[in-house]
Amino acid sequence: MTAEEAVARLDSGMTLGIGGWGSRRKPMALVRALLRSPVTDLTVVAYGGPDVGLLAAAGKIRKLVAAFVTLDSIPLEPHFRAARERGAFELMEIDEAMFMWGLHAAANRLPFLPVRAGLGSDVMRVNPGLRTVVSPYEDAEELVAVPALRLDAALVHVNRADRLGNGQYLGPDPYFDDLFCEAADTAYVSCERLVETAELTARAAPQTLLIKRHTVTGVVESPNGAHFTSCAPDHPRDEPFQKAYAAAASDPAAWAEFAARFLPPHGSEKDYRSAVRTWHEEQR
């Protein structure tokens, strides 16, 4: 399917998990399609990067569940900062291990999983809904009960996939993409290249088959679909473009210009790629 078709299956008010980590292997083509869609009022669950920044800037986030938002080589995400500083959305700020166990709980159909993390920190203060449990064994330890982070839909980007939804990562880190898919009722996987099933293991080990088709609703072929985040080994992060993004995001007038050029409301992914190409030529 196309990114537009995937996004057409999403509704306003949904809880949406977005894979990748920081400014790494983010399903940016799907996020861009989401930006062009009327879908809004989202609860976004992510190891946040520019996906969160862009959706926040577009006013599409009602609530964010995250441990951080970063662009990696640029530590602070300007749109996220601005949105937080103007109180633009509700935030469930939890530790990154708590976040992982919340996804595990959802994937395993458990209401919560116990973790030590969170105790003694202000994560407990700013999330008054968080509860603790006492171990029923002799140790009687008090632990945080991280609630399941069940998702209506997940969006992830991988290197290769087949039409059935078997997804493969070829980079060094799976991040939590399979967990996002397993924690979700529906999942849309974009990939650098759509291949025949046999081709997936022709040159790579079966351990690279991260995402299983039974957890996937739709597959979108989107070369460079993680741009400007990294998608090793297919492409590194586009650092000059990320720099331009961050500079524009720090200033409303500059952002309006940037958005009009690269993310126009009636544009397409193809238009985006061509605008980026032209921009790079201008930089030479």
| Residues making contact with other proteins (CB under 8 A) | 21, 48, 66-70, 75-76, 80-81, 84-87, 93-98, 100, 115-123, 125-126, 141-143, 172-176
Considering the complex, what minimum distance in angstroms separates the CB of residue 124 from other proteins? Answer: 8
Over the Cα atoms of the chain, what is R_g? 19
What single-letter amino acid sits at 54?
A: L
Of 251 and 257, nearer to other proteins (C-beta) is: 251
Of 93 and 199, nearer to other proteins (C-beta) is: 93
Short-list 188, 176, 189, 171, CA closest to 235: 171
Residue 214 CA: distances (Å) to CA of 217, 241, 268, 272: 8, 36, 29, 31
Considering the complex, what minimum distance in angstroms separates the CB of residue 13 from other proteins? Answer: 23
Task: State how far the Cα of 268 lies from the Cα of 144, in Å rounded to an integer.
Answer: 44
Of 19 and 39, nearer to other proteins (C-beta) is: 19
The pair of structure tokens assigned to 30 is 């799907």
The pair of structure tokens assigned to 114 is 């116990």
* Residue keyed to tokens 């449990």: 133
SS3 185: strand
Of 75 and 265, nearer to other proteins (C-beta) is: 75
The pair of structure tokens assigned to 252 is 């409303």
Of 13 and 233, nearer to other proteins (C-beta) is: 233
Considering the complex, what minimum distance in angstroms separates the CB of residue 223 from other proteins? Answer: 23
Considering the complex, what minimum distance in angstroms separates the CB of residue 117 from other proteins? Answer: 4
What element of type H or E holds 241? Answer: helix 239-249
Considering the complex, what minimum distance in angstroms separates the CB of residue 80 from other proteins? Answer: 7
Pair 231, 157: CB distance under 8 Å: yes
Considering the complex, what minimum distance in angstroms separates the CB of residue 191 from other proteins? Answer: 19
What element of type H or E holds 211? Answer: strand 209-211
Task: State how far the Cα of 30 lies from the Cα of 5, in Å rounded to an integer.
Answer: 10
Of 1 and 82, nearer to other proteins (C-beta) is: 82
Of 118 and 165, nearer to other proteins (C-beta) is: 118
Considering the complex, what minimum distance in angstroms separates the CB of residue 267 from other proteins? Answer: 29
Task: State how far the Cα of 189 lies from the Cα of 169, in Å rounded to an integer.
Answer: 12
